[in-house]
């Protein structure tokens, strides 16, 4: 009996030792797996950091090469490039009046409506395509304006504010300027802007944005070089109320960039100058 108990005890001890050894081996194998994973992670991190550093170096070299090429351009050519940018991106707003004596070369868009000759045909093509594909009835209600035209519109707005809102004359002048630009500060005098509305709803108010014409133009106007000039919520930047009908020509390249960034012309020009 004692011999049997001894054999059982030995067997139990052997079994316990086997379990302990097995657990130890499994533990060691787990540690090895963790170590291998750590090594793989270290390699991945190292490769990623190297790739980022290489990209940064390449980008810096590219920018330096571009700057060197620009610096090597003759001064006359540099000035010509700057003038091209300034001409298409010219800002006219309450704080930046139209240059004295500015006189655009005009061409007919449709009927009596004129625009700068560089964009008149594009504006008409955009309106035709909008009519064909939007389901709306687009029409121009204002394009190029002379100084006299703008003065008449502004004076009429001042009178309406006084009559309809019972505002004193001095206050009416300020309120009117938020909706109708002061003479000399209107983009319409540049010849690069047009007010396009939908005949289904021919009223100049915010509901215009829901019309098929405006929905289509907001998406496709950059393809023709136009931007929605006064987006909603930007009055403090542009100095003009939200106008979902006012489109400004800046050229296709600039129009696509401005629209893609979701910024105003003022912000875009500031960004370009700061690059």
Whether 203 and 106 share a structural domain: yes
Domain end call among 22, 37, 72: 72
In the numeric block, which tokens belong to residue 105? 């070369």
Rounded to whole angstroms, how far apart are CA atoms 273 and 80?
A: 16
Whether 202 and 236 share a structural domain: yes
Examine residue 138 and state whether it is found in any structural domain, yes or no.
yes
Strands (E), 120-250: 138-142, 193-198, 226-230, 243-249
Whether 66 and 133 share a structural domain: no
| DSSP alpha helix (H) spans, 89-146 | 120-133
Strands (E), the chain: 106-110, 113-116, 138-142, 193-198, 226-230, 243-249
Examine residue 10 and state whether it is found in any structural domain, yes or no.
yes
Any idea what the CATH number is for the domain that residue 234 is in? Answer: 3.30.1380.10
Mean pLDDT in residue range 198-222 = 96
Rounded to whole angstroms, how far apart are CA atoms 245 and 226?
A: 12
**Residue-wise pLDDT tens digits, 250-269:** 999 999 999 999 999 999 99
Q: What percent of the chain has pLDDT over 90?
A: 56
Whether 66 and 104 share a structural domain: no
Q: What is the band of 66 on the pLDDT scale with cuts at 50, 70, 90?
A: very low
Whether 52 and 104 share a structural domain: no
Rounded to whole angstroms, how far apart are CA atoms 243 and 217?
A: 13
Whether 215 and 135 share a structural domain: yes
Examine residue 176 and state whether it is found in any structural domain, yes or no.
no
Domain end call among 37, 72, 107: 72
The answer to whether 122 touches 225, Cβ cutoff 8 Å, is yes
Considering the candidates 243, 257, 266, 267, report the single residue annotated as catalytic.
Answer: 243
Whole-angstrom CA distances from 57 to 16, 48, 49, 61, 121 are 61, 14, 12, 6, 45
Examine residue 31 and state whether it is found in any structural domain, yes or no.
yes
* pTM score: 0.68
Mean pLDDT in residue range 51-58 = 48
What's the domain range around 54? Answer: 1-72
Highest mean pLDDT among 33-47, 77-91, 147-161, 209-223: 209-223
33 carries an active-site annotation: no
Domain end call among 51, 72, 93: 72
Tell me the β-bridge partners of 249.
226
Count the domains in the chain: 2
Examine residue 170 and state whether it is found in any structural domain, yes or no.
no
């Amino acid at each position: 009996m004692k011999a049997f108990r001894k054999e059982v005890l030995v067997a139990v001890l052997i079994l316990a030792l086997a379990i302990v050894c097995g657990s130890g081996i499994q533990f060691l194998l787990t540690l090895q797996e963790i170590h291998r994973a750590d090594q793989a992670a270290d390699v991945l991190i190292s490769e990623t950091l190297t790739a980022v550093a290489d990209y940064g170096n390449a980008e810096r070299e590219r920018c330096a090469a571009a700057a060197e090429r620009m610096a090597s351009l003759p001064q006359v050519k540099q000035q010509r490039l700057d003038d091209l940018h300034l001409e298409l991106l010219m800002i006219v707003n309450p704080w930046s009046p139209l240059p004295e004596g500015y006189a655009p070369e005009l061409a007919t868009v449709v009927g009596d409506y004129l625009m700068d000759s560089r964009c008149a045909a594009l504006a008409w093509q955009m309106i035709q395509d909008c009519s064909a594909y939007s389901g709306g009835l687009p029409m121009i209600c204002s394009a190029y304006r002379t100084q006299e035209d703008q003065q008449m519109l502004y004076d009429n707005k001042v009178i309406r504010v006084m009559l309809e809102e019972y505002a004193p004359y001095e206050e009416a002048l300020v309120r009117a300027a938020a909706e109708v630009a002061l003479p000399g500060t209107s983009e319409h005098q540049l010849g690069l802007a047009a007010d396009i509305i939908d005949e289904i709803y021919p009223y100049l108010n915010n509901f215009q944005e829901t019309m098929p014409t405006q929905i289509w133009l907001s998406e496709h106007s950059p393809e023709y070089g136009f931007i929605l000039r006064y987006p909603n919520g930007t009055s403090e930047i542009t100095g003009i109320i939200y106008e979902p009908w006012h489109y400004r020509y800046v050229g296709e390249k600039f129009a696509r960039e401005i629209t893609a960034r979701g910024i105003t012309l003022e912000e875009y020009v500031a960004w370009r100058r700061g690059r």
